[in-house]
Structure 1
Amino acid sequence: MTLDHAPRRHHRRIVRRLHAVPAAVATGILITGLLAIPAHAEHGTSTGPSTGAAIGTVARTAGDARFEPGPCPKTPEPIAALEKARCGTLTVPENRARPDSRRITLGVAIVPAAAAKPKPDPIVWLAGGPGDDAVGEAKMAIDGGLNRDRDVIFMSQRGTYSADPVLTCPNIDEFNARAVGLVYDAPSTERLHVEATRTCRDRLADRGADLGAYNDTESAADYADLRVALGIDQWNVFGISYGTHLALIYMRQHPQGIRSVGIDGILPPSKAGSALTWSSARQGFDGLFKACAEQPACNRRYPHLSATFDRLVRELEAHPVTTTVTVPGRPKPVKVVLDGGALVNWMTSATHVAPGVPRSLDELAHGKPQRIAEQWAGGKLSPEAFGRTAHGLAYGVFCSEWVPYESRAEGLRGGHDAFPSFPRSVLAQAPQLTFLRPDCAVWDVPAAPPSIRDVTRSDIPTLALSGGFDSQTGAAAGPYVARTLSRATVVTVPYEPHVVFATSRCAQEITVSFFDNPTAPQTGCLTGLEPPRFEIGP
């Protein structure tokens, strides 16, 4: 969820997920009357036999969808994992509710299993965001060993970087870069923020995009069609961050052919919104603060860290601090303004670099904001922050599936429950979802059917993975979704941030073992995991 400002490239991609979306991305849509496919209806019919070894090598159709072998999808940088991939495109209707809908194409890459004799049921990867491109996450999946003995399938979700059309908005990325020098939650910043969103929307609409068709219902149908078009009888699903949101809807709307589901960094569709984001922040922050308090050296040097953080949020909101920092790749110093909202959003990402957080907060408390300012600006000014997020898909999900089903009062109440000492101006803008409601007002798309918020009830074996430091999709989401998933295994990997598969070898081992035996994954590696050694400053 979605989800983008971690200082290191590997982490920055994860933080972008709902994690994830740059500050000006926060909304979405679904067209009125768009009907979900009945839970037990097959969406497409394969034109050929199922031959796992041949997936991706011949053209196939599935209802109105068609897979065509071809070149591999474009990626911002070369990805070695794709060098041996079988690739092509899936062509689907942009809006299945409209008979005259235009056709759009989604890039597909199938990375072969490392084993000489792969298992017949591949794994399909659902990316974070909303707005990240799954093909661009192939390195993460393969580095984690996901293709040990199964092919791994990556498809660019509609609107993302390697799809056609692509719904990125460089003007929003440029505004996010400029915004590091503005007061984060000021009314003047809101006006500029919403204007960037409006400009993005108008440009995409002028290019013919049916913005109401970029949502989870259409995307779930895309994946259902992909499985059938590739001639696969059964596959496994693995979703990270926002991809867990899509996975839970997909397994509810199109359960056919799904052998097992792994979800990592869990975002339940039934609870998604500002209140959940505040609750997740509280869980992740408290996990980190507790780990420091239990480490004698950290506790001695940085006592009462939680109280220090809360105090800094209040003080900076009343009196923002302005500084200048040097950012890699920028020839001139960059102006950075830190207020309470900026600090909260920095902290939401900073759990990815947990060892340095106590020292950074202590330096800020003693008049040295540079470390935090460098990290805050570095994420937004990184080359990876420009032109890669599909803002049209992000707004498509948030504005149709979240905002219509959570009132402003409910969001504020969720913030106050989690952080009762925070000023109202901070609580009005949930972490990662700044100016969400005014953005959705200008995006102007209909709400999804209320059923989009239903809980997922299923007996499909499911692995629910979370990190103890996850401040973007809190670990409590694992037990929550497991209540209605009768064959779920809930695992929290301690001391890890959002999307544990990307950061924890133990999480990777558990995940791979789960797909081998979905009812009894091997979790022994959790024993003896230790907290990070926190930096101790002078």
Structure 2
Amino acid sequence: MLYLSTDSARYAMLRQLCFILLLLTQSVVGAQATIESANCAAQPPATKASCGYVSLPQDYADPAAGRVEIYYTQIHSRGDKPDPLVYLVGGPGSSGTQLLPVSYEKYLRAFADKRDIIIIDQRGTGLSTPSLYCREALFRLGDILESSHQEHAELLLEILTDCQRRLARQGLRFDTFHSENNARDVVNALLALGYERWNLVGVSYGSRLALTMMRDFPQYLRSVILDSVYPPQADIYVDAYYNGERALAVLFEACAASRGCNNRYPNLRATFYHVYAQLNEMPLLVEYKPPDSRLLTIEISGYRLYDWVFSWLYEVDAIRMIPKLVYELSRGRTRSAAPMGALFEQSMASLSLGMHYSVQCQEEYGAAQRDYAELVAAHPHLAGFLAYPVEGPTTLPQLCELWGAAARDDNANQPVRSDVPTLLLSGNYDPITPPDYAEMAAETLSSAYSYVLPHVGHAVLRSDECAVDIAVAFIKQPLTEPDSRCIASAQPMRFR
């Protein structure tokens, strides 16, 4: 077995022949990766778990640059399979620990009878330290919600500037927070815990992290599940607008094909774009009081509505509500839309935004500098919306210049070629990682099975029992095509 160490003369020849590969796979294990046990912050009921921190270098090329303490949860199985299932969450910037209770209840427990389940808070997230959370975003959530569409991106840029300056004063190296180091952390943590081989389930950005591990550390991987696939060659910032329009078209067509939805909400497509234009001309003002907050006055512009609907397309329960919410807004009713939209904006503020933009500015910003003229020509109604999100073409360059995490080499955006058995799962309503992304990734994976769940949005395993059944069958026998007949019997979307 190839141990990830630069000290052994045993691999001198391999270093000479594969110098670049070894740069990618350098890690510190053994004496330099120390484990300290800790209380479990999110142990699912009726499970036996161990938790703690694995201490690893912040910069694998410069051990003197300090340490990161990676928090893990190890759920012990009653089974005897030696290869655990490792859960990689998305974002980038989400916390595996925070998402564990729901994820375990929804699908991870389906694997727990045979093998251990490992959850790792990626560097900069969750209980791992140092933390790259931007508490400034949570402190000013009320200001974010009350910002007009003209103020929104600039306010977020101001908040992120304050966050970056605070974190920089702590001596953090933003250029060390990227997918390659995330992959090294996961590998070294698992080796330190005594595992020699494992299975991955990566969701959203977690699928990109899993693909990075497939590229850099294939020798440790028995199988990989990619849920809501985010391939490194995708241009996600520009694609997001096209992908959002695609998902909206799926929604409009499904409502038109549903007798109940079409009777209650006829001409949903035309109604949505009419409301979008109308709210941009004359936004609605609605009073809303979040829990533990002051009374807020939220401006619902068409741009904010579009942003909210985009986010609602992630979740099945929210998708079912979209036609009703659009029609309510067309009649000036805001009682349902405002709380759902505010919840979305609050969830974004709870990401580790420092980790998020450290990764994205290094791995996505260069690819995002495409000409937006083609996009606007295809979808003219998006011309004004481009200035609304902080990741838009106006403010993203300022944000990434501020963050000081320069674009990485081209390898970070190249397709991953791998022979590791891989299951790819996509939701037809997904507005951010569409089924096309799974097909894009599968083109260079020699042992891949790809399935589209027709009535699901983002994070398929969390939403669809059929997908869980397919995944369980795949993990049992990764070299055999899993039984996917349940997809054909999926019930149509039931709109409210």
* Superposition TM-score, scaled by structure 1 size: 0.82
| Corresponding residue of 1:159 | 124
1:373-405 CA-to-partner distances (Å, cap 9, x unmatched) read 221123335xx666x422221011111111122
Counterpart of 1:366 in structure 2 is: 331
Question: Is 1:181 aligned to 2:140, yes or no?
Answer: no
The answer on 1:169 being equivalent to 2:169 is no
Does the CA contact (< 8 Å) of 2:153 and 2:390 recur in 1?
Answer: no
Residue 498 (1) aligns with residue 458 (2): yes
Match of 1:110 in 2: 74
1:302 correspondence with 2:265 = yes
After TM superposition, give the deviation of residue 240 of structure 1 in Å: 0.6
Hey, what does 2:100 align to over in structure 1? Answer: 138
The structural deviation recorded for 1:475 is 2.0
Residue 324 of structure 1 contacts residue 333 of structure 1 at CA under 8 Å; is this kept in 2? yes
8 Å CA contact 1:111–1:153 kept in 2: the answer is yes
Q: How does 1:375-386 map to 2 (within 5 A)?
A: 375-381=340-346
Match of 1:469 in 2: 429
Q: Write the distance in 2 (CA, Å) between the matches of 1:152 and 1:263.
A: 16
Paired letter, 2:334: P
Aligned counterpart, 2:440: 480
Question: What whole-Å deviation, never above 9, does each CA across 1:474-513 have from its counterpart, x for those lacking one?
Answer: 1221111111111111111111111011111111111121
Are the counterparts in 2 of residues 127 and 239 from structure 1 also a CA contact under 8 Å? yes
CA distance change for structure 1 residues 432 and 515 in 2, over 3 Å: closer, same or farther?
farther
Bigger proportion of residues as helix: 2
2:113 is paired with a residue whose SS is coil
- Corresponding residue for residue 509 of structure 1: 469
Output the amino acid matched with 1:484. T
CA distance in 2, matches of 1:265, 1:423: 24
Q: Which residue of 1 aligns with 2:202?
A: 239
Q: CA deviation at 1:429?
A: 4.6
Question: CA contact under 8 A between 1:40 and 1:256: conserved in structure 2?
Answer: no
Residue 525 in structure 1 maps to residue 486 in structure 2: yes
2:254 maps to 291
SS for the counterpart of 2:371 is helix
The secondary structure found in structure 2 opposite 1:238 is strand
What amino acid does structure 1 have at the position aligned with 2:383? R
1:255 equivalent to 2:218? Answer yes
CA distance in 2, matches of 1:108, 1:371: 38
After superposition, the Cα gap between the structure-2 partners of 1:328 and 1:512, relative to the gap in structure 1 and judged at 3 Å, is same
Write the distance in 2 (CA, Å) between the matches of 1:275 and 1:64.
Answer: 44
Tell me the alpha carbon deviations over residues 389-428 of structure 1, each in whole angstroms, 9 at most, x when there is no partner.
2222101111111112221524x534654xx131412134
1:269 corresponds to which of 232, 236, 255: 232
Q: In 2, distance between residues paired with 1:319 and 1:403?
A: 33
Deviation of the 1:457 alpha carbon? 0.9
Structure 1 pair 321/141, CA: closer, same or farther in 2 (3 Å)?
closer
- What's the CA shift for 1:304? 2.2
**1:38-437 paired onto structure 2 within 5 Å:** 38=21, 43=26, 62=29, 65-72=32-39, 75=41, 78-81=42-45, 84-113=48-77, 116-143=78-105, 144=107, 145-184=110-149, 186=150, 188-330=151-293, 332-351=294-313, 352=315, 353-381=318-346, 388-407=350-369, 409-410=371-372, 413-414=374-375, 416-417=377-378, 420-429=379-388, 435-437=395-397
Q: CA deviation at 1:226?
A: 2.2
User: Structure 2: which amino acid aligns with 1:270?
Assistant: Q
Mean Cα deviation higher: 226-235 or 256-265: 226-235
- For residues 314 and 366 of structure 1, the distance between their equivalents in structure 2, rounded to whole angstroms, comes to 14
Deviation by residue 1:216-271 (Cα, 9 ceiling, x = unmatched): 11111112222322232211111111111111122112212111110111111111
Alignment partners' CA distance in 1, 2:445 and 2:118: 25
Instruction: Supply the RMSD in Å over aligned alpha carbons.
Output: 2.5
User: Residues 41, 358 of structure 1: CA spacing in aligned structure 2 closer, same or farther, 3 A cutoff?
Assistant: closer
Give the SS at the match of 1:513: helix
Equivalent residue, structure 2, for 1:56: none
Q: Residue 8 of structure 2 aligns with which residue?
A: none
CA apart distance, 1:100? 2.1
State the secondary structure of the residue aligned to 1:476. helix
**Quick one: structure 1 residues 424 and 82, their matched pair in 2 at CA, closer, same or farther if it must change by over 3 Å?**
farther
Deviation, 1:463, is 0.8
| Residues 141-170 of structure 1 deviation map (CA, whole Å, 9 limit, x = unaligned) | 422123231111111100112111111111
* Aligned residue number for residue 29 of structure 1: none
Query: Structure 1 residues 374, 142: CA separation in 2 closer, same or farther (over 3 Å shift)?
Result: closer
Cα displacement string for residues 158-189 of structure 1 (whole angstroms, at most 9, x for unaligned residues):
011211111111112233432221213x1x33
Aligned length: 471
Shift of 1:347: 0.5
State the secondary structure of the residue aligned to 1:136.
helix
What SS does the aligned partner of 1:489 have? strand
Higher RCO (CA-CA < 8 Å; seq separation 6+): 1
Q: Distance in 1 between matches of 2:471 and 2:390?
A: 29
1:476 and 1:132 map into 2 onto residues whose CA distance is 24
CA distance in 1, matches of 2:309, 2:321: 11
Q: What is the DSSP-based 3-state SS (H/G/I as helix, E as strand, rest coil) of the residue aligned with 1:492?
A: strand
Equivalent-residue separation in structure 2 for 1:132 and 1:64 (angstroms):
29
Q: Kindly state the Cα deviation for residue 213 of structure 1 after the two structures are TM-superposed.
A: 0.6
Q: Which runs of 5+ in 1 are unaligned?
A: 1-34, 45-60
Q: What CA distance in whole angstroms lies between the structure 1 residues aligned with 2:152 and 2:307?
A: 15
Worse overlay, 309-318 or 505-514: 309-318
The answer (yes or no) to whether the contact 1:67–1:88 under 8 Å persists in 2 is: no
Match of 1:456 in 2: 416
Partner SS, residue 322 of structure 1:
strand
- Shift of the 497–341 alpha-carbon distance from structure 1 to 2, 3 Å rule, reads same
Query: CA offsets, 1:205-224, max 9 Å, x none?
Result: 10121111111111111122
Partner Cα separation in structure 2 for residue 213 and residue 369 of structure 1 = 44
Secondary structure at the aligned position of 1:506 is classed as: helix
Is the contact between residue 89 and residue 203 of structure 2 (CA under 8 Å) also seen in structure 1?
A: yes
Q: Work out the CA distance in 2 between the residues paired with 1:194 and 1:238.
A: 33
Whole-Å separation in 2 of the counterparts to 1:416 and 1:521: 42
Q: Distance in 1 between matches of 2:258 and 2:423?
A: 31
Amino acid in the other structure paired with 1:426: F
- SS at the partner of 2:358? helix
Relative distance call for 1:416 and 1:439 in structure 2 (3 A) is farther
Q: Give the 3 Å change call, closer, same or farther, for CA 431–421 of structure 1 in structure 2.
A: farther
